[in-house]
Amino acid sequence: MTAKTHPRARWGRRLRLGQAALATLARSLASPHLRPLLPGIWRWSRGLPARYEAQSLPDFLTALTPAHADLAGVNGEHLRELIDLLARLDRGSPFGLCLRRALWRYHWLRRAGLPLGILFGVRVRGATELSEIGKAEPGGARIVGHAWNTLAGEPWHERPEDRRGFSVLYRWEGPVQSPV
């Protein structure tokens, strides 16, 4: 067994993630800036799928873009960690983790004054070339999507291996924001 598939390695990684999650939650609950945001973030996220389904993607993203950076005093890195934790915990969402995280980060960190964008990409899994899609065995090749955030046009808090092989289909940088 390799270190990647060894059960101890998986449990060790899960324990590290759990420790980081508890530290993020404790820091957020102790923060006078982040603690009041917790219920609002969760309520906001509950309506996101219905808003997504009811609008075109550009209209949805325009509505998701805050007009002002009304959370400019909040520590952006701590807010990102909280958003990532809450997105990971939202197992009932119809969105995959990458889309949840990208949308949540985009909205909430723009409110903190960070001008994030979002990229949406696709790749073919199970085929080495697009021409092989029709020749793949049933259940073989399939198209998968991924979403990630950008800052100044560069991937932001996204591991290179997580976006490797994806072709960008849609780029949303959002409008220029004005401070409060």
pLDDT in tens, 127-170: 555 555 455 555 666 889 999 999 999 999 999 999 999 999 99
pTM: 0.82
Antiparallel, parallel or unpaired: β 167-172 and 68-69: unpaired
**What is d(CA 90, CA 85) in angstroms, rounded to the nearest whole number?**
9
Residue closest to 81 by CA, chosen among 146, 119, 37: 37
- So where are the chain's domains? 31-179
Q: Which two tokens stand for residue 142?
A: 């399939």
pLDDT digits (tens, 9 = 90+) for 50-91: 999 999 999 999 999 999 999 988 999 999 999 999 999 998
